[in-house]
């Protein structure tokens, strides 16, 4: 179950759920947005028209990616907690705040590199038409942290 949940989460981050009408209805576990644990790859299969070999490979890639990203996100969360704790002190140490801020930025960059590499790995097993569909799906994703406003 954990593996399926990880695959689903990675798929959700990669593809997003931009509208209920465009996404397949999955009810196996409820879960995020009412979709079940096995919906991530299923959604990609439907939206991109993946064959069985592609589905298996993407499932493997997403599982590996989620494991890597989980470690890096835990590091980021720890750094952000340390930064918050220092910032909330009566007399924060400016140098420590600066150092922690730099580390947070580097951690975000590491996560961006992992995501980019993951998208490239998936792209490498897709046909040109599937890559175009994936690009469209990714363009439709709301961006986190800016209330879905995408620069044009």
pLDDT score at 138: 83
Task: Give tens-digit pLDDT for 14-50.
Answer: 444 333 334 444 443 333 333 333 556 677 788 889 9
Task: Specify the pTM.
Answer: 0.67
Residues 38, 29: Cα–Cα separation, whole Å:
9
Task: Give tens-digit pLDDT for 88-124.
Answer: 999 999 999 999 999 999 999 999 999 999 999 999 9
CATH value of 2-139 in 1.10.357, 3.40.50, 1.20.120, 1.20.1280: 1.20.120
pLDDT range class, residue 151, cuts 50, 70, 90: low
* Segment 130-137 mean pLDDT: 90
pLDDT score at 132: 93
Per-residue pLDDT for 133 more than 50?
yes
Q: How many whole angstroms from its chain centre is CA 64?
A: 13
pLDDT score at 51: 92
Per-residue pLDDT for 2 more than 90?
no
Closest to 130 (Cα-Cα) out of 53, 59, 64, 46: 46
Closest to 58 (Cα-Cα) out of 112, 128, 6, 7: 7
40: Cβ contacts below 8 Å, ≥ 6 apart: 7, 8, 9, 10, 11, 12, 15, 62
pLDDT score at 92: 96
Q: At what angle do helices 128-139 and 94-124 cross, to 10 degrees?
A: 150
Contact 18, 141 (CB under 8 A): yes
């Amino acid at each position: 179950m954990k593996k399926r949940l990880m695959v689903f989460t990675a798929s959700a981050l990669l593809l997003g759920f931009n509208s209920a009408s465009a996404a397949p209805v999955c009810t196996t576990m409820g879960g995020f947005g009412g979709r079940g644990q096995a919906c991530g790859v299923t959604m990609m299969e439907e939206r991109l028209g993946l064959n069985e070999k592609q589905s298996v490979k993407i499932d493997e890639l997403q599982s590996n990616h989620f494991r890597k990203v989980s470690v890096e996100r835990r590091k980021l969360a720890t750094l952000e907690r340390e930064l918050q704790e220092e910032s909330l002190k009566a007399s924060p140490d400016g140098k420590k705040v600066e150092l922690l801020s730099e580390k947070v930025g580097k951690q975000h960059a590491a996560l961006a590199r992992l995501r980019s590499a993951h998208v490239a790995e998936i792209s490498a097993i897709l046909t040109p038409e599937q890559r175009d569909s994936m690009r469209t799906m990714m363009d439709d994703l709301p961006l986190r942290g800016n209330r879905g406003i995408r620069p044009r």
